[in-house]
């Protein structure tokens, strides 16, 4: 799993390359937490899942946890570039009821 994190203004963009599962979520959580606690003024997070092909319940828990963390501070979590199979998992799990999904980073940045 590879991870690229970029800050644009008050937005933290997280680009994930690999599966979101039991084997990867702890590392993801730690790296994102470092940025959130180490930098002042981050309000929103955009998760780019363009290179994610698989997500399990641990990955869903990771996303819901980031949603709670960001929304508790008045921010928004946006998800972009979701393939059809992961979108179906989001639909069945209820993630689509709490998180907005966009097609690309520009669209998500304009919506926050």
> Cα 39 to the chain's mean position, in Å?
18
Give residue-wise pLDDT tens across range 10-31.
Answer: 999 999 999 999 999 999 999 9
To which H or E segment does residue 60 belong?
A: helix 57-71
pLDDT band for 95, please (50, 70, 90 cuts). Answer: very high
Give residue-wise pLDDT tens across range 27-59.
Answer: 999 999 999 988 999 999 999 999 999 999 999
Scan for tokens 């907005």, then name that residue. 100
Question: What is the pTM (predicted TM-score) of this model?
Answer: 0.94
Q: What is the mean pLDDT of residues 60-87?
A: 96
* Four-residue CA torsion sign, 105, 11, 79, 62: positive
Taken in order of first residue, the domains within the chain and their CATH numbers are 2-111 (3.30.750.24)
Query: How big is the chain, counted in residues?
Result: 112
pLDDT band for 112, please (50, 70, 90 cuts). Answer: low
């Amino acid at each position: 799993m590879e991870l690229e994190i970029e800050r644009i203004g008050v937005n933290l963009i997280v680009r994930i390359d690999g599966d979101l599962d039991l084997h990867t979520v702890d590392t993801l959580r730690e790296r994102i937490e470092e940025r959130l606690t180490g930098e002042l003024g981050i309000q929103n997070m955009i998760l780019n899942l363009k290179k994610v092909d698989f997500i399990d319940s641990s990955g869903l828990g990771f996303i819901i946890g980031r949603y709670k963390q960001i929304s508790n501070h008045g921010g928004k979590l946006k998800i972009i570039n979701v393939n059809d199979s992961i979108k179906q998992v989001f639909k069945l799990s209820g993630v689509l009821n709490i998180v907005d999904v966009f097609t690309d980073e520009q669209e998500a940045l304009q919506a926050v």
